[in-house]
Structure 1
Amino acid sequence: MKGKLKTMAVLGMAAIMAIGGTVTVKAEKTGMKVALSNSFSGNAWRAQTIKIFEKYCSDLKDEGVISEFYASSAGDDAQNQINELRNMISQGYDIILVNAADSNALKPVLEEAADEGITVVSYDNRVEGDNLYTIGIDEEKYATQQAEWMCETLGGKGNIYLIRGLEGSYNDNIRYECWTKVLENYPDIHVIAEGYGGWDAGTTSQLMNDLLAANPDTEVNGIIQQGHGEVAMTEALVQHGIDPGTVAMTGEYTNGFFRVIKEYNINAFIEGLPCYLPAAALDVALAVVNGEDAEKDTIIDPPVIDAADADEWYHPELPDTFMNGWTDDDNTWNLTLEDVIPDDMKAE
């Protein structure tokens, strides 16, 4: 099945069965109320994570494990998300899952929720605290692998651009620090310029065109990019008369990345965040609620896809923005492609 990722939990749950870097939980408590608080909602990954959350919750509701579920997106405004979380607390949710706009800003309200007996699990942009649980990929490994691959691919010498994620976010800060540490070991790798792509195709397009326009006489050998700007980067190179096949790139497993890799024979490093993180986070929460001996922090190795397999992963019937890699190797949550496709993509 296209979309299956092989993952491995390097730190994780104790005394329950780990499958594909996640946990399978036999729930005992029933009738629980579950809420998900998302922040930024500007890319397909976020939309697909919510679709997976809703599908999994629907199945659990049919089984009587939960009585109701709710998901909302607060945008990049931490105060909006705090207000949203306070509403969830007042409405008596048993479990709150959260992808934080600002980990430091949200920590007090999430600790307040935990103090009131709510099980709180943050995923992706995680929030650490004494009574808080987290699940996500190994962000340091994610970024270090990108930077090391680039430096080794270029033979330790060349000119590159750095395209960061969402300014101020937990993930972007960690990844940038790791990029910097790796690059310090390669003095002949020159960073031409850098900027925030915001994990967004439109933002990355504008940024990449601006950077290339500002450096017209500088040869570009590589672009280290966190994700969701793969096609935008490629199109910007073409617009500026640069063959994308001559530029090494890193990126996530967007459908469009597989397309342009095939089209332009791009030398690429592909890894990403599994779309099923909210489902895995809910499994963590269910384990906690049912008294399992759960680790506080579950870390998953970032899945890597070989660029040589681009043709196997590409979905020509879906938009470039669709995120492949939407379930684990065992399809733990019984997902289908139809479950994962956002509604606006189905209309295309």
Structure 2
Amino acid sequence: MGSQPRRLRLTALAAGAILITASACSTPEAGGGGGDDAEGPFTIGVSNGFIGSEWREQMIATLEEAFAEYEQEGVVDELVVESADVDVNGQIQQIRNLINSGVDAIIVNPNSPTALDEVFAEAAEQDIEIVAIDQAVTSENVTNVVIDQGEWASISAEWLAEEVGDGGEIIAVNGIDGHPANEARWEGASQVFEEAGVEVAANDFADWDQATGQQVTQNLLASHPDVDGIFVQDGMALGAFQALESEGTVDEIAITGEARVGFMNRWAEQREENPDFSSVGVPNPPAGSVSALHVVVRMLQDQEFAPDALDGNTLYLPIPETVTDENFDERFAEVEDQPDTYSVDHHITPEEADAYFQ
């Protein structure tokens, strides 16, 4: 996908394991381990513990496309995907299933920063490389390949703080209570608001769901009708905007947006009706899964990280360029033919992945 997004066919994710095979081959022994054969082909497992958003579908779809390219080169042979709405215990079972499938590496979008440590250690004992995406974990057995979620949230928080000014009052619509990405985001945003003198009148959770985001925003506005702005995470901004539309307050309350086509369509319409309308959309690229695939393949090939590549156990990916009023027309033109659920996307190239290694 790179810098030029292309149309994706988002595949429906079954609640269970999906096996993509290159050819008929024997089932590998449990605990494949990249260290035994650095030439491959490698079997890659994926543990995805939440399927309640189109973002996760795009995450898997882009990974499948990139995997197919490595497959044609003979670098990989199977992609085993464990994908379902599960709690921490369910994700532990997902990872154990992958271990027993004999994968060489696991790409995990974790439901907790710490609660999976024991099963990560079990995988590491089998010489399985583990890479976490979307949110970081603390386990020393895992390499995080992520954007900085706190920094991600601070970008739109800074925009909103400038819009409402010192002493401004806002409400916040956040993701899933206790989820590691949500906690990192809200920590980053809260620090911005505190330093800017912005008061957070109320904060509630809408599970990264547009319809829930609309309802939660309506409820918060009913209790706090005089707020100056709304901080809302991606996956819910269109819903929050629709709540403002229903209240007739789109031109009165500043709202952070999202780099998704549905919201960007509304943004474009508002710009035609009111040239003074302003918003911001910080991309949270689902194709971080592809960046992780590039990295973990090189780990399996026994390449060593460059001395300054990691911050602890984390490789921080660049946050894509923010969608602003100034660059909106150009950025929207790249994606306007995509479905409303499509997120502006980005991943590092194989050559850029090489730069993280010696």
TM-score, with structure 2 as normaliser: 0.79
CA displacement 1:185-218 (0-9 Å, x = unmatched): 233x232321112111122112111112233xx3
- Map 1:180-219 to 2 at 5 A: 180-187=190-197, 189-215=198-224, 218-219=225-226
- Map 1:224-243 to 2 at 5 A: 224-242=231-249
**1:220 Cα shift?**
2.8
Alignment-derived partner of residue 281 in structure 1: 292
- Which structure carries more strand by proportion? 1
Alignment-derived partner of residue 299 in structure 1: 316
Alignment-derived partner of residue 14 in structure 2: none
2:254 to 228, 248, 255: 248
Q: Indicate conservation of the 8 Å contact 2:150/2:185, yes or no.
A: yes
Q: In the superposition, relative to structure 1, how do residues 67 and 104 fare at CA in structure 2: closer, same or farther (>3 Å)?
A: same
CA distance in 1, matches of 2:199, 2:214: 22
1:173 to 165, 175, 183: 183
Q: Indicate conservation of the 8 Å contact 1:2/1:324, yes or no.
A: no
Give the root-mean-square deviation of aligned CA atoms.
Answer: 2.4
CA distance in 1, matches of 2:80, 2:302: 24
Instruction: Extract unaligned runs of 5+ from structure 1.
Output: 6-26, 334-348
CA distance in 2, matches of 1:66, 1:291: 15
Asked if 1:88 is matched to 2:94, the reply is no
TM-score, with structure 1 as normaliser: 0.81
**1:175 Cα shift?**
1.5
Q: Indicate conservation of the 8 Å contact 2:173/2:204, yes or no.
A: yes
Secondary structure at the aligned position of 2:40 is classed as coil
**Number of aligned residues:** 308
Q: In the superposition, relative to structure 1, how do residues 190 and 80 fare at CA in structure 2: closer, same or farther (>3 Å)?
A: same
Asked if 1:290 is matched to 2:301, the reply is yes
Instruction: Between the two structures, name the one with larger relative contact order (CA 8 Å, sep ≥ 6).
Output: 1
Amino acid corresponding to residue 178 of structure 1 in structure 2? G
**1:3 Cα shift?**
6.0
- Map 1:2-41 to 2 at 5 A: 4=4, 29-41=39-51
Instruction: Extract unaligned runs of 5+ from structure 2.
Output: 6-36, 272-276, 354-358
Q: Indicate conservation of the 8 Å contact 1:100/1:125, yes or no.
A: yes
Alignment-derived partner of residue 338 in structure 2: 318
Q: Indicate conservation of the 8 Å contact 1:4/1:329, yes or no.
A: no
| Deviation beyond 4 Å, 4+ runs, structure 1 | 326-333
CA distance in 2, matches of 1:138, 1:156: 26
Amino acid corresponding to residue 275 of structure 1 in structure 2? P
CA distance in 2, matches of 1:148, 1:66: 42
Q: In the superposition, relative to structure 1, how do residues 331 and 227 fare at CA in structure 2: closer, same or farther (>3 Å)?
A: farther
Alignment-derived partner of residue 139 in structure 2: 129
Asked if 1:260 is matched to 2:271, the reply is no
Q: Indicate conservation of the 8 Å contact 2:2/2:348, yes or no.
A: no
Identity of aligned residues (%): 28
CA displacement 1:49-94 (0-9 Å, x = unmatched): 1001111111111111111112232314111111111011011100
CA distance in 1, matches of 2:100, 2:347: 33
